[in-house]
Amino acid sequence: MTKQWMSERANASEPAPAERSAGAPASERAGRRAGTKPPASSLSRREFGSVAAAAAAGFLLTACGPRRLHDISKDRLRQAIKTWEREYTEKFGKAVTVSDAPPIPGVLFAYALDLSRCNGNRACVEACVAENNQSRDPQVQWIRVLSMDKDKGIDFSDADPYYAPQQVPEPGRFYVPTACQHCRNAPCTKVCPVGATWTEPDGIVVIDYDWCIGCRCCMAACPYGARHFNWATPSLPSDQVNTSMHYLGNRPRPRGVVEKCTWCIQRTRAGRYPACVEVCPTGARKFGNLLDPESEIRYILENKRVLLLKPELNTMPKFFYFYGT
């Protein structure tokens, strides 16, 4: 049994989201990928006129391709997931599962990072890349650890993301790991012209990789450098792929779209901790349900000295930094 954020909850009895029964007809998305048209078999011959009209309408919709994952029906999602699983399994030569786990009612995720514990070892960066199937070449990393001068405090204009000493921590330095702050008032989702990125009900800011047009407005809007663009076709060797995927998370990304931290949605919606939290050797990383008064997150917020990055921008991050000691 791996560590679970859920186990800390006062009433952890809430079941994991049950598998929904496989839906009926082909989704537009899956249909397009598989090269099939949605069946229109249930209509009788006498209704030929209306069949033609419906077919025309159906064709119009189908021809116009997929919908945003934000609007997709559950049935269609099931179908799309089957298609993805087949496609990825074929591509990587391993059984891939794509989860469609929905947000858990009553859960709003939040993250806390203990600046007094972080020693800049960057185990989180590696675990994140391995867990979330980021491109190995060119390298895409969702977590960026900044080395800063203790005399200056948090000062981005003096931060060094490329520190490479023999040993960490370096004398006189401290470390500020950054990633998506999952803002409640997210500037990135606001600017997207096609609505390809949004905040899920559990507070995770996600991207629909099949809907993103790659305009990079969100990257200009993000004050935390959290969004990364696939400038080239991502490379992901089969022996390194994480086969446990979520449709809004770590499934392979195409070239030319933006990606970012999803708080390991494939893990956290199944009750587990994000990979970075699990791997952190110093225990600096905390994660849990903001709505649960018994959670560690709530304890930290209520008892520790907490700070936000760039609070003056009113982005209202759900990613809190604190000094544990």
| Site residues for other proteins per CB under 8 A | 64-65, 68, 71, 138, 144, 146, 155-159, 161, 178, 187, 190-196, 211-217, 219-225, 227-233, 255-257, 313-314
Q: How far is the CB of 302 from other proteins (least distance, A)?
A: 29
C-beta of 112 vs 217, nearer to other proteins: 217
Contacts of 259 (CB under 8 A, 6+ apart): 134, 140, 142, 207, 209, 227, 228, 229, 230, 253
Secondary structure of the chain: what % helix, strand, coil (to 5)?
A: 30, 15, 55
Q: Give the shortest CB-52-to-other proteins separation in angstroms.
A: 21
CB of 223: closest distance to other proteins in angstroms? 4
The span from the CA of 42 to the CA of 36, in Å, is: 17
Task: Rank residues 104 and 183 by Cβ distance to other proteins and give the closer one.
Answer: 183
Is the Cβ of residue 177 or residue 271 nearer to other proteins in the bound state? 177
Contact 127, 142 (CB under 8 A): no
**Residue with smaller CB distance to other proteins, 291 or 313:** 313
Nearer to other proteins, 184 or 216 (CB): 216
CB of 275 to other proteins, least distance (A): 21
- Which of 178, 250 has the CB closer to other proteins? 178
**110 or 222: CB nearest other proteins:** 222
**Distance, CA of 261 to CA of 77 (rounded, Å):** 22
| Least gap, CB of 104 to other proteins (angstroms) | 26
At its nearest, how many Å lie between other proteins and the CB of residue 150? 16
In this complex, which beta carbon is closest to other proteins, that of residue 251 or of residue 272?
251
Q: Cα(221)–Cα(205) distance, rounded to whole angstroms?
A: 14
CA 111, 112, 118, 120 torsion-angle sign: positive
Distance set, CA 322 to CA 116, 123, 202 (Å): 8, 20, 22
Of 36, 38, 37, 56, nearest to 48 by C-alpha is: 56
Judge whether 267 and 131 are in contact, CB under 8 Å: yes
CB of 54 to other proteins, least distance (A): 18
User: How far, in Å, CA of 282 to CA of 117, rounded?
Assistant: 6
H-helix or E-strand spanning residue 197: strand 197-199
Closest separation between CB of residue 254 and other proteins, Å? 8
Q: d(Cα 231, Cα 141) in Å, to the nearest integer? A: 13
